[in-house]
Amino acid sequence: MKKAWLNAKFATGEGGLLIEHGRVLAIGNDVTRDSVGSLTPIVDCAGKVILPGIVDARVFTGEPGTDYRETLATASDAAAAGGVTTMIVMPNTEPAIDDAAMVDYILRRARDTAKVRVYPMGTITKGAKGELISEIGLMKSAGAVAITDGVRSVANANILRRAMMYAKDFDMLVVQHVEEPTLATGVMNNSEASTRLGLSGSHAMAEVMMLERDLRLVEMTKCKYHASQISCAESVEVMRRAKQKGLPVSCGVSIHHLVLNENDIGAYRTFFKLSPPLRSEDDRRALVAGLADGTIDIIVSGHNPQSEDTKRLPFAEAAFGATGLETLMSAALSLFHNDNISLQKLSQAMSEAPAQLLGLEGGKLKIGGAADFIAVDPNRSWLVEPSSLYSRSKNSPFEHRTLEGRVIETVVAGTVIFNYRA
């Protein structure tokens, strides 16, 4: 059955969107009330912005093993509220997603319980322990879209080199968490702020050193490589030079590192304890500039739910991580409002670029493509309160903060899965 969304704004113009059987049938200013026919159900967007659904390439859940933190079902509810139509889930579960059977399990569970599209990454090493390489080819055949050890770096250079060579044979993307583990031992950014708070600092060089080492391995192996999150100005420069050399590399940044800095930690607020840590305001501005000029390829939520038992502790003892799925678009819109990043650029970094990076359909509204999209009101303010969040865990760094911009409707394959009612 056909359905039309009219009186909408797009990143590149105005018009309407016509879908049929979960696919885009027509898009643009030619889609009008007259052209779609009187029998076509119509949604009046009233000037809202329609964008491709977000493809979030870094989502942690607790399923299987720690379901009290988050399940695929609750994560998908949060994703739908945040405009995310595709989640890429990380393999740091219990047990880890390190073989074909676990990949298949996640896909089946997602099919049965999730509202949004879900694709898993597999581990680089068995159990994400950095010792034995996982069966990369079998995991890809089962449906894994990339390999990563998630919150852990593969510290052994020879193991990562061999994994890269293996991954290249299967045209598999290697995704690395870039922190040198013996140097990244602090609980926040190493700076005047950490000294003032009396907290151990983790120097940005821990990230830069691991990134530079990995890029040397890419030169050796020619493997497709993605740095999952970079967080400092020097890493932006390292990536810029690597791209200028023509290496097959890309990088991402979390929305938290784009809009927050180390000073937001304030009075030891553990919801701001992240890995990598929030850096200085100069680093944040460098990340925004790197996004604007294309050095940074994608924006991720870095959604990492944690229970109250592990977050409401002294800062040094609290777990790393923050939720981010349902605040992703709203937080990104602050870059549009405050940092002169266009909606088109934000959408490209959150939708089209990650879809292309992972070889997925979607991320772009085009005739014949999947009808995965969101309607957004960039000027709708809302207060982030724990009681209003869909995620099972409530550790949002935007707690009690008013965000400007709201996802009004989320559609996957032509089906409305979220509709905001103020």
Q: Each residue of 356-404: pLDDT tens digit?
A: 999 999 899 999 999 999 999 999 999 999 999 999 999 999 999 999 9
Over the stretch 93-143, which tens digit does the pLDDT of each residue have? Answer: 999 999 999 999 999 999 999 999 999 999 999 999 999 999 999 999 999
- Is residue 126 in some structural domain? yes
Sequence-ordered strand ranges (E) for 48-101:
49-52, 54-59, 84-89
Give pTM, 2 decimals. Answer: 0.97
Give yes or no for a contact between 216 and 243, defined as CB atoms under 8 angstroms apart. Answer: no
The pLDDT assigned to 27 comes to: 95
Q: Determine the angle formed by the axes of helices 281-292 and 233-244, rounding to 10 degrees.
A: 30
| Confidence band, pLDDT 50/70/90 cuts, at residue 13 | confident
Give the whole-angstrom CA distance, residue 215 versus residue 228: 13
Checking DSSP bridges between strand 84-89 and strand 117-120, what pairing results, if any? parallel
**DSSP secondary-structure letter at 133?**
B
Cα separation of 256 and 230, whole Å?
A: 11
Strands, E, within 255-348: which ranges?
A: 298-300
Q: Which domain holds residue 214?
A: 52-358
pLDDT tens digits for 66-82? 999 999 999 999 999 99
Residue 251 reports pLDDT greater than 80 = yes
Q: Using the predicted structure, report yes or no on whether residue 54 has a pLDDT greater than 80.
A: yes
- Look up residue 414 and give its DSSP letter: T
Q: How many domains does the chain have?
A: 1
Measured CA to CA, the distance from residue 366 to residue 47 in angstroms comes to 20
C-alpha–C-alpha distance, residues 199 and 285, integer Å: 24
When pLDDT is cut at 50, 70 and 90, the band that residue 422 belongs to is low
Both tokens assigned to 219: 């030169």
Cis amide prior to 378 (ω within 30 degrees): no
Whether 422 maps to a domain, the answer reads no
Q: What CA–CA distance (Å, rounded) separates 69 from 304?
A: 9
The encoded tokens of residue 38 equal 């009187």
Do 49 and 88 touch, CB atoms closer than 8 A?
no
- The confidence score (pLDDT) of residue 38 equals 87
| pLDDT tens-digit map of 252-277 | 999 999 999 999 999 999 999 999 99
In a domain, 136, yes or no: yes
The DSSP result for 341-394, as a single string, is: --HHHHHIIIIIHHHHHHT-S-SS--TTSB--EEEEEEEEEEE--GGG--SSS-
Q: Answer yes or no: is 365 within a domain.
A: no
Do the Cβ atoms of 111 and 380 come closer than 8 Å?
A: no
Q: Is residue 403 a part of any domain in this protein?
A: no
Cross-strand bridge partners of residue 9? 14, 49
Indicate the pLDDT class of residue 339, thresholds 50, 70 and 90: confident
| Residue 380, domain member (yes or no) | no
| Peptide bond connecting 41 to the previous residue in cis, omega within 30 degrees of 0 | no
pLDDT tens track for 144-182: 999 999 999 999 999 999 999 999 999 999 999 999 999
Confidence of residue 12 (pLDDT cuts 50, 70, 90): confident
Instruction: Provide the strand spans (E) within 90-240.
Output: 117-120, 147-148, 174-176, 188-189, 201-202, 225-227
End-to-end CA distance of the chain: 29
Using alpha carbons, select from 109, 196, 102, 95 the residue that is nearest to residue 143. 102
CATH number for 268: 3.20.20.140
Identify whether 369 is part of a domain.
no
> Is 163 part of a structural domain of the chain?
yes
Burial of 334: CB neighbours in 10 Å, binned 0-12, 13-18, 19+:
middle
